[in-house]
DNA sequence: GTTTGTGAAGGATTTCACAGCA
DNA sequence: TGCTGTGAAATCCTTCACAAAC
């Protein structure tokens, strides 16, 4: 990522479907959603490819890992394909998340309006600083990190979002893993160590900038 | 990826070095910086690999595209390697950037303290809304988008950061390209169309979440 | 006529494995 | 002895090209 950049990926479960393919599916979902709201009914791999700047063959091959969703001579029904892909990705349900680290970044994350419409609900917020614990931020009561395991269980939290400073990131990630979390979105600028079966995706705009400068230098 | 996940990459300049390799170099810089501040002098590809959860062979191969930086039997001198990689990536200088879109996200970006220490200076901020234009945000006077081309020239801006809502993102990106920008960090949830020679990196935490749910579903 | 789905081919990237040097 | 640098091998991923379906 490699985006884009920037994905630490730790030995995911055995599967015939390449990891890169899985990472492209959300892209397909995104354009399909945009197309469907524009009144179109059918879309070809050619049109999808134009939108995403990739080859039609790649799109067809990616989709073929999961089934036969198109009709020869016509293309793909937009809303049906979108639905299939959402089901494949597990987006036909909602997911509960917890944010750890309620400084500047954590506050921005919990108040970001883009998660809920996509089914990602932030139900808990944690911080190590006792002055912040107890505060209410965007409707969330900040809890002590010592409550993590209990809260993960109580709220059926499946996703951890790490927004602590770098020097506490690894220990927070260890705590999340300890609490049973297997999917982590990491905003701290480090590549954390995680056991097999735990997926970490990193969000670091600086890494993205640092690889772009190579091409303009 | 990238990520990673999440990188639109449009036909970069001809080069012998694979794009994936370029995207990993900032990762190496990041760990080297962390190691060097810990007093160590030398590091082996094995140690780097452990930190980054990748194979030592891959690290050695990546580095070999650019030269011979190590010493057999010892490893790599941390600060020398860091310096070499920074030079390769163009990080031995500073880069000026402009943010377009001064809503919630744009404000978070200009006030993010992680860019400047890495040499990325945000020198201009733009918005289409006349009520925001003229305001001062984090020490930046917000300008009208009509001033884009002139401002890019005046400040020697090389990087555009897009934080406008999705329905204006493509036109803003067109305007940046028109103004001569060839590197764009895009926070809007769309894969923009850009001409050859322009690099776009997307930052979209939702895409990252959507590919992780596949593995926990 | 158009576009899918897919084996086969081609290309790219990763890993192996070891010669060579410190 | 320990670790790099690197061709060669292995693996992974993308693209081709075309039969089949509409």
Q: Read off the pLDDT of residues A159-207 as tens digits, 9 standing for 90 and up.
A: 999 999 999 999 999 999 999 999 999 999 999 999 999 999 999 999 9
Domain count, chain B: 2
Residue B10 pLDDT > 80: no
- Identify the sign of the CA torsion A82, B199, B158, B66: positive
Are B76 and B131 members of one domain? no
Are B49 and B104 members of one domain? no
Contact: A115, B208; criterion CB under 8 Å: no
**Is A141 part of a structural domain of the chain?**
yes
pLDDT value at residue A15? 61
Residue A11 pLDDT > 60: no
Of A89, A123, A141, which one is at a domain's C-terminal end?
Answer: A89
Are B127 and B196 members of one domain? yes
Summarised one tens digit per residue, pLDDT across range A135-146 is 999 999 999 999
Closest by Cα among B106, B95, B186, B184 to B142 = B106
Are A127 and A166 members of one domain? yes
> Is A106 annotated among the ligand-binding residues?
yes
Query: Is there contact between B70 and strand D, defined as CB under 7 Å from any strand atom?
Result: yes
Closest by Cα among A186, A106, A114 to A140 = A106
Are B77 and B149 members of one domain? no
Q: Are strands A75-77 and A70-71 parallel, antiparallel or unpaired?
A: antiparallel
Are A108 and A192 members of one domain? yes
pLDDT value at residue A13? 43
Residue B1 pLDDT > 50: no
% of chain A exceeding 70 in pLDDT: 93
Residue B13 pLDDT > 50: no
Confirm or reject contact between B129 and chain A (CB < 8 A).
Answer: no
Closest by Cα among B89, B119, B29 to A214 = B89
Summarised one tens digit per residue, pLDDT across range B23-42 is 999 999 999 999 998 889 99
Residue B11 pLDDT > 80: no
pLDDT value at residue A217? 87
Residue A25 pLDDT > 50: yes
**Is A1 part of a structural domain of the chain?**
no
Q: Is A197 left (phi over 0), alpha (psi -120 to 50) or beta?
A: left
In three-state secondary structure terms, B169 is: helix
Summarised one tens digit per residue, pLDDT across range B106-116 is 999 999 999 99
In three-state secondary structure terms, B163 is: coil
Are B134 and B99 members of one domain? yes
pLDDT value at residue A194? 97
Summarised one tens digit per residue, pLDDT across range B61-98 is 999 999 999 999 999 999 999 999 999 999 999 999 99
**Is A12 part of a structural domain of the chain?**
no
Concatenated DSSP letters for B45-72? HHHHHHHHTS-HHHHHHHHHTT---EET
CA B18 to C1' C14, in angstroms, rounded, equals 12
Residue A193 contacts by C-beta under 8 Å, 6 or more apart in sequence? A170, B51, B53
Are B79 and B165 members of one domain? no
pLDDT value at residue B9? 40
Of A50, A66, A89, which one is at a domain's C-terminal end?
Answer: A89
How many residues are given for chain B? 217
Residue A170 contacts by C-beta under 8 Å, 6 or more apart in sequence? A190, A192, A193
Residue B5 pLDDT > 90: no
Summarised one tens digit per residue, pLDDT across range A93-131 is 999 999 999 999 999 999 999 999 999 999 999 999 999
Q: Tell the burial category of B42 from Cβ atoms under 10 Å away from its Cβ (0-12, 13-18, 19+).
A: middle
**Is B2 part of a structural domain of the chain?**
no
Query: Is there contact between B74 and strand D, defined as CB under 7 Å from any strand atom?
Result: yes
Contact: A206, B1; criterion CB under 8 Å: no
pLDDT value at residue B15? 59
Contact: B215, A52; criterion CB under 8 Å: no
> Is A101 annotated among the ligand-binding residues?
yes
**Is B1 part of a structural domain of the chain?**
no
What is the residue-averaged pLDDT of chain A?
94
- Domain around B60: 7-89
Distance, CA of A57 to CA of B117 (rounded, Å): 43
**Is B155 part of a structural domain of the chain?**
yes
Summarised one tens digit per residue, pLDDT across range B147-157 is 999 999 999 99
DSSP state of A12: P
CA A84 to C1' C14, in angstroms, rounded, equals 33
Residue B61 is part of a domain; what is its CATH number?
1.10.10.10
Of B68, B89, B110, which one is at a domain's C-terminal end?
Answer: B89
In which band, very low, low, confident or very high, does the pLDDT at A5 lie, cut at 50, 70 and 90? very low
CA B170 to chain A, closest CA, distance in angstroms equals 12
Residue A9 pLDDT > 90: no
Concatenated DSSP letters for A83-130? HHHHHHHT-SS-EEEEEE--SHHHHHHHT-TTSGGGTEEEEEEEES-T
In which band, very low, low, confident or very high, does the pLDDT at A79 lie, cut at 50, 70 and 90? very high
Are A83 and A113 members of one domain? no
Protein-proximal positions, strand C, CB < 7 A: 1-7, 12-17, 19-22
- Identify the sign of the CA torsion B1, A111, B191, A26: positive
CA A49 to C1' D17, in angstroms, rounded, equals 18
pLDDT value at residue A214? 98
% of chain B exceeding 70 in pLDDT: 93
Contact: B201, A3; criterion CB under 8 Å: yes
Confirm or reject contact between A152 and chain B (CB < 8 A).
Answer: no
pLDDT value at residue A2? 31
Closest CA-bearing residue to C1' of D15? A57
Query: Six-digit token pair at A103?
Result: 């400084």
In which band, very low, low, confident or very high, does the pLDDT at A39 lie, cut at 50, 70 and 90? confident
């Amino acid at each position: 990522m490699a985006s884009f950049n920037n994905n630490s990926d730790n030995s995911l479960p055995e599967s015939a479907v390449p990891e890169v393919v899985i990472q492209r599916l959300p892209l397909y979902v995104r354009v399909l959603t945009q197309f469907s709201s524009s009144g179109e009914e059918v879309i070809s791999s050619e049109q999808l490819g134009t939108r995403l700047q990739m080859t039609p063959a790649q799109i067809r091959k990616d989709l073929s890992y999961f089934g036969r969703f198109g009709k020869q001579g016509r293309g793909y029904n937009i809303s049906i394909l979108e639905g299939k892909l959402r089901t494949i990705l597990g987006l036909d349900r909602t997911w509960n998340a917890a944010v750890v680290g309620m400084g500047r970044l954590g506050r921005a994350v919990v108040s970001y309006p883009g998660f809920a419409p996509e089914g990602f609900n932030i139900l808990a917020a944690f911080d190590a600083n006792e002055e912040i614990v107890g505060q209410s931020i965007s409707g969330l009561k900040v809890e002590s990190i010592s409550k993590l395991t209990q809260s993960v269980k109580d709220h059926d939290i499946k996703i951890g979002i790490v927004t602590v400073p770098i020097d506490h990131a690894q220990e927070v990630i260890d705590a999340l893993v300890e609490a049973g979390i297997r999917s982590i979105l990491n905003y701290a600028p480090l590549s954390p160590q995680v056991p097999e079966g735990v997926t970490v995706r990193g969000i670091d705009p600086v890494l993205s900038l640092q690889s772009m400068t190579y091409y303009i230098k």
